[in-house]
Structure 1
Amino acid sequence: MTPRYSSFTQWFREGPFATYVRTVKSPGGFLNLMETAMPAVDMSDPAVPEIVLHYDVIGGFGINADLGAGRFSATSRPGDFLLTAPNFTNSVRVDSYHQIRSLAFPVAYWRQFFEDTADRTHSLDFGVLHRGTFTSPTIRSAQRQLWRLCDEEGAPSRLLAQAAGCEILAELCRLAGSPLASARGGLAPWAERRCLELMRERLSDDISLDELAAEARLSPFHFARMFKQSLGVPPRVYLTRLRVEKACELLEHTDIPVTEIALEVGYSSNQVLARVFLKHMRLSPSDYRRAVHDPVRSIALQ
């Protein structure tokens, strides 16, 4: 009897292709990320309650498959996407070596994000997108940034995963011909003020998009888009900015060890803080502290 799997990630980790899994990153049940590298293979994935978006890293393989909307054949190119329908036993044949990054969206969780949008009953079934390869600069950019931030910060935070998921699903809706209603303007001044206060108060927490949206009395989908209209960047980017600013303040005005500063601003270790800090400030936290405490000596040593 074929075992039942609760997720695509579980299937790959515990099923016959476990040896081909390179990386798994999961924030706890609402966006699972996995990278695999496999030879030519004939496989039939069991039905799982997720929609799974596959990104082709290197291209060049032929595929014959039924992902939920009828059988098709195609040759994949680098950057192409494949989308599997939820609760559907996929039939897939790949004819050569391939490297894939997969994002799995549990239907039970993400369906709630469609509340207060144009289509409250959206099933996360995207019709024609399940039949063939497709491209999307918007989704490609979002998933690349998501993986890059995961490499920098470890397992993605709830805010990072939820915001990226909203962006990707909204674009899938548009590509499938059922775009979500546009957000009307940015956040109200009171909502913007309260959300920023909450982000500052809880820098050390794994704050979620749901919590911020609730403060603004909006659905997560609408909140994410209205926040970007008001602040110019997505919530996850703004949170990183606040964390770096707070780290700079603590490095400048206290003698707190870097490890403690990392925890205070929401990072799991001083190594993670160092990667983020180096990217945004072009200095390590320790070098930044030395520079602000003794700028003359810092310049002389350069």
Structure 2
Amino acid sequence: MTEPAYGSFAQWYSDGHLAHYVRTMKSAGDIIHLLEAAQPAGDMSDPAVPDLVLYQDLHGGSRVSGDMGGGRFNVRSEKGSFFLSAPHFANTVVVDKEHELRSVSFPLAQWQSVMDEAAGGQSSLDYQKLCMGAFASPTIRSAVRNLWALCDEEGAPSRLLAQAAGCEILAELCRLGGAPFSATKGGLAPWAERRCLELLRTHLSEDISLKELAAEVQLSPFHFSRMFKHSLGVPPRVYLTWLRMERVCELLAQTDLPVTEIAQEVGYSSNQVLARVFMKHRGVSPSEYRRVVRGPGRPLITLGVRAPLEGRQ
């Protein structure tokens, strides 16, 4: 292992010689960093950073050779293939053609305990196995795709989104590395489910974190995320969006608040962000929704609202 020359992968790509190839960079504090870049053929090596870095080749067809912490490899990358770079390791990577990539980097200080838990008490990730070139994972591909789609809608990822996606990705990496990974056997206790839903409803305007929700019911974020999905059928981040859409519909129908104020009340950074999310989930703009439900002679209805599942008693 090599002592890190940069404080994070995001810092390296911001300050290093590859910075001008970056098209998009988003961060959720010190939880995760997202990057998209269009790079030329040649030496794409990175210095040692204290982050675990997952790369995805968006188009494939490249010959990739080097060492990312698991030993030398020389492979042909396919569209959507992943590569994993070990933390504290100065990787050597040569790509034979122009390529586009996405990356998700996990600062080790934030994620080591989750990795240890996901690995079932073993010595966390098996870098010798996972950092040996290209690999495929439908689970990770879906998680990364959803993460980017939500970021495109809402801007920088919330802490809840970042932590939930990170737990899902790291759990799958541990499984691929041979950890004794088992399916969730049960969901949240009824009292814990009620408490979580109450917190989500009363903190719609805040950037509540997975860690905070888990602490309320005395669980680790890793286990809480899996148990919540088992109980409610969707991850906490999806359920939060449902609750926000429910509240937006109520405010549009029952108040004269401007859309900008409604956006702030439910935790969106602007009316433009709210409009994008609302259109996706309700099929109309907030203004059109208000016009329809408050038209002359029309009852106050909740057009298109699908109420979230309530906590089971």
Is the structural similarity TM-score above 0.5? yes
Which amino acid is the alignment partner of residue 208 of structure 1?
S
Identity %: 64
Which amino acid is the alignment partner of residue 140 of structure 2?
I
Matches within 5 A, 1:1-302: 4-114=5-115, 119-120=120-121, 122-294=123-295
CA shift in 2, pair 1:208/1:295, >3 Å:
farther
Q: Deviations over 1:140-185 (max 9, x none)?
A: 0110010000000000000001000000000101111104444330
CA shift in 2, pair 1:205/1:63, >3 Å:
same
Q: Which runs of 5+ in 1 are unaligned?
A: 298-302
**Paired residues, what number?**
296
Secondary structure of the structure 2 residue equivalent to 1:277: helix
Deviation at 1:132, TM superposition (A): 1.3
TM-score with structure 2 length normalisation?
A: 0.91
Question: Larger deviation: 109-118 or 189-198?
Answer: 109-118
Secondary structure of the structure 1 residue equivalent to 2:20: helix
Contact (CA 8 Å) 1:57, 1:99: kept in 2 or not? yes
Which amino acid is the alignment partner of residue 160 of structure 2?
L
Q: Which runs of 5+ in 2 are unaligned?
A: 299-313
- Cα distance in structure 1, aligned partners of 2:133 and 2:116: 29
- Cα distance in structure 2, aligned partners of 1:134 and 1:197: 41
- Cα distance in structure 2, aligned partners of 1:114 and 1:61: 30
Contact (CA 8 Å) 1:159, 1:236: kept in 2 or not? yes
Contact (CA 8 Å) 1:63, 1:93: kept in 2 or not? yes
TM-score with structure 1 length normalisation?
A: 0.94
Name 1:300's counterpart in structure 2. none
Which amino acid is the alignment partner of residue 62 of structure 1?
R
Secondary structure of the structure 2 residue equivalent to 1:22: strand
Structure 1 runs of 4+ aligned residues shifted over 4 Å read 114-118
Q: Deviations over 1:231-265 (max 9, x none)?
A: 00000000000000000000010001000000000
Contact (CA 8 Å) 2:56, 2:80: kept in 1 or not? yes
Contact (CA 8 Å) 1:162, 1:208: kept in 2 or not? yes
- Cα distance in structure 2, aligned partners of 1:99 and 1:295: 52
Contact (CA 8 Å) 2:120, 2:180: kept in 1 or not? no
- Cα distance in structure 2, aligned partners of 1:198 and 1:47: 40
- Cα distance in structure 1, aligned partners of 2:18 and 2:209: 33
CA shift in 2, pair 1:56/1:115, >3 Å:
closer
- Cα distance in structure 1, aligned partners of 2:53 and 2:294: 50
Secondary structure of the structure 1 residue equivalent to 2:69: coil
Question: Larger deviation: 177-186 or 209-218?
Answer: 177-186
Q: Deviations over 1:12-60 (max 9, x none)?
A: 1111111101100001011100011111021331111111000111111
- Cα distance in structure 2, aligned partners of 1:151 and 1:191: 32
Contact (CA 8 Å) 2:122, 2:179: kept in 1 or not? no
- Cα distance in structure 2, aligned partners of 1:77 and 1:116: 31
Contact (CA 8 Å) 1:111, 1:122: kept in 2 or not? no
- Cα distance in structure 1, aligned partners of 2:237 and 2:296: 32
Secondary structure of the structure 1 residue equivalent to 2:111: helix
Contact (CA 8 Å) 1:163, 1:236: kept in 2 or not? yes
RMSD: 1.7
Secondary structure of the structure 2 residue equivalent to 1:223: helix
Deviation at 1:291, TM superposition (A): 0.6
Q: Deviations over 1:60-83 (max 9, x none)?
A: 111111000100001111110000
- Cα distance in structure 2, aligned partners of 1:127 and 1:290: 59
- Cα distance in structure 2, aligned partners of 1:74 and 1:116: 31
Secondary structure of the structure 1 residue equivalent to 2:75: strand
